[in-house]
Structure 1
Amino acid sequence: MKAIVYSLLASAMLFTSCAKDNVDPPKSRLTGRVVYQDQAVGVRSFGSTNLGSNASMLELWQRGFGLFTKIPVFVDQDGTFSAELFNGDYKLVRSRGNGPWVDNTDSISVNVKGNTVVDVPVQPYFTFSNASIQKNGSTVTATCTVAKTATRNIDRVVLFISRTAIVDATNNLARSEKSGADVADLSKPLTFSLAVPTSIKGPVYARLGVRASGAGEYLYTPVQKLE
């Protein structure tokens, strides 16, 4: 699922300034990924909340239409994003306090002309390595190592499972978690075990998440489908 956000604000302003003209809808597409060390960063899907409330979000800003208003661009759970826009020059901004990464107020200049691709670098508070999730009978087990990349402590690390491919802190049927006190020594691998709810009759979807203290969002591993 791709998160496609239409530039309604820019479109409305263009219609206002050219009320008597026929204006085509935006046809150019900006796509990209939120990345750390060239790897996409897993987040909570905007589709698991009402209108993307508190989900990881980027902002596009464009001058020259009388108003200077943000165009929200929500990041999908695999770290990708997509927006349909008019050609032009935009400023892309990482929303403050709106992701599992360190705030960065620097804007990225983007010239949209036809299909345009841009990666947005971030610095997560924590990262996963050697993550493995498996299902054996009615039990899901997971192992991982968590590394600290910024000056915050861990709030918790969680294994989430669901019956759908959208899996996160707000969309799951079961979870196994460890608090920050349980993972004080990050040199040791973490292990999780979780019974599959009887309400799940088919495949199980699972992923791991880590949240920093004071952060509103988890960083996630890719979703895995377990038969």
Structure 2
Amino acid sequence: MKLHQLSYIFLILAGILSACEKDNFDPPKSTLTGRVIYQNQALGVRSNGVQLELWQPGFQLYSKIPVFLNQDGTFSASLFDGDYKLVLLRGNGPWVDNSDTVNVQVRGSAVVDVPVQPYYLIANETFGNNGTEITASCRVDKISGDRAVERVILYIGATQFVDSNNNVGRVEKEGADLVDLSQNLSFSTAVPAAVLAKGYCFGRLAVKTVGVAEMLYTPVQKIQFR
């Protein structure tokens, strides 16, 4: 066999061995979990619609690790042990922008809460039914900032994942209905025929702030109607 052929075979084998070594790297085994909170209460959001950013200084490739929030305001990330910086993505949540950095040390596992200042909160929410109609009521409390309320929405879902992208029905209040936020808001909407046979659905209220893309949501509530 000619020398250049042997060299070619050696290069192929070396490439295969190198690829195997890369495939055999251990995946990250440590876990970072936490919540986005206001007054120690997690804030509801759209599932995978709001994200945080993790950065790990000291590496040549200094790039962000996106961490998406669950609909109940919790998050989780699998990481290598190390020191990280956790920051809010500007303009991405239903709260006032905050440039503060949370330093996180991950050694096996770590738990961290990220405090924010929401523009508005939904309070005293109730859900029920009147025959084949779903009813709800709530109050909207202003928390911070100078932005107005754009709308308040009741979403109906066939599953426990309910938001602006995952719903089978909705009804909203806006404009004149939101002039006096000290008054309770009442909602009523028919149960979609496709859900009626199940005997239950899921409800969730959301408040939209003017000029803010993402909404703040209440916890999902299961509603029985038979």
Q: TM-score range by the shorter chain?
A: 0.7 to 0.9
Q: 1:109 to 1:196 in 2, by over 3 A?
A: same
Partner of 2:217: 220
Partner of 1:102: 96
**Aligned counterpart in structure 1 of residue 77 of structure 2, from 77, 83, 105:** 83
Correspondence list, 1:83-162, <5 A: 83-150=77-144, 151-162=146-157
- Residue-by-residue CA offset, 1:83-105 (whole Å, 9 max, x unaligned): 00001100001001111111101
**Aligned counterpart in structure 2 of residue 36 of structure 1, from 18, 35, 38:** 38
In the alignment, the residues of structure 1 paired with residue 86 and residue 153 of structure 2 have an alpha-carbon distance, to the nearest angstrom, of 31
Q: 1:195 to 1:21 in 2, by over 3 A?
A: closer
Compute the displacement of 1:146 (Å): 0.4
In the alignment, the residues of structure 2 paired with residue 88 and residue 22 of structure 1 have an alpha-carbon distance, to the nearest angstrom, of 21
Q: What stretches of structure 1 of length at least 5 have no aligned partner?
A: 1-18, 47-54
| 2:171 counterpart of 1:169 | no
Tell whether the 8 Å contact from 1:162 to 1:171 is kept in structure 2 after alignment. yes
- Number of equivalent positions: 202
Give 3-state SS (helix, strand or coil) of 2:176's partner: helix
Compute the displacement of 1:196 (Å): 0.5
Q: Which amino acid aligns with 1:86?
A: F
Partner of 1:14: none
Give the root-mean-square deviation of aligned CA atoms: 1.6
Name the TM-score, length of structure 2 as normaliser: 0.86
Name the TM-score, length of structure 1 as normaliser: 0.85
Partner of 1:73: 67
In the alignment, the residues of structure 2 paired with residue 137 and residue 193 of structure 1 have an alpha-carbon distance, to the nearest angstrom, of 11
Compute the displacement of 1:226 (Å): 1.1
Q: Identity rate of aligned residues, in percent?
A: 58
In the alignment, the residues of structure 2 paired with residue 68 and residue 182 of structure 1 have an alpha-carbon distance, to the nearest angstrom, of 48
Compute the displacement of 1:124 (Å): 0.8
Compute the displacement of 1:20 (Å): 7.7
Compute the displacement of 1:180 (Å): 3.7
In the alignment, the residues of structure 2 paired with residue 29 and residue 98 of structure 1 have an alpha-carbon distance, to the nearest angstrom, of 24
Give 3-state SS (helix, strand or coil) of 1:105's partner: coil
> Which has a greater percent of helix?
2
Tell whether the 8 Å contact from 1:153 to 1:180 is kept in structure 2 after alignment. no
Q: What stretches of structure 2 of length at least 5 have no aligned partner?
A: 1-20
Q: 1:87 to 1:175 in 2, by over 3 A?
A: same
More divergent stretch after superposition (70-79 vs 192-201): 192-201
Structure 1: which 4+ aligned runs deviate by more than 3 Å?
19-23
Compute the displacement of 1:24 (Å): 1.7
**Aligned counterpart in structure 2 of residue 207 of structure 1, from 196, 204, 207:** 204
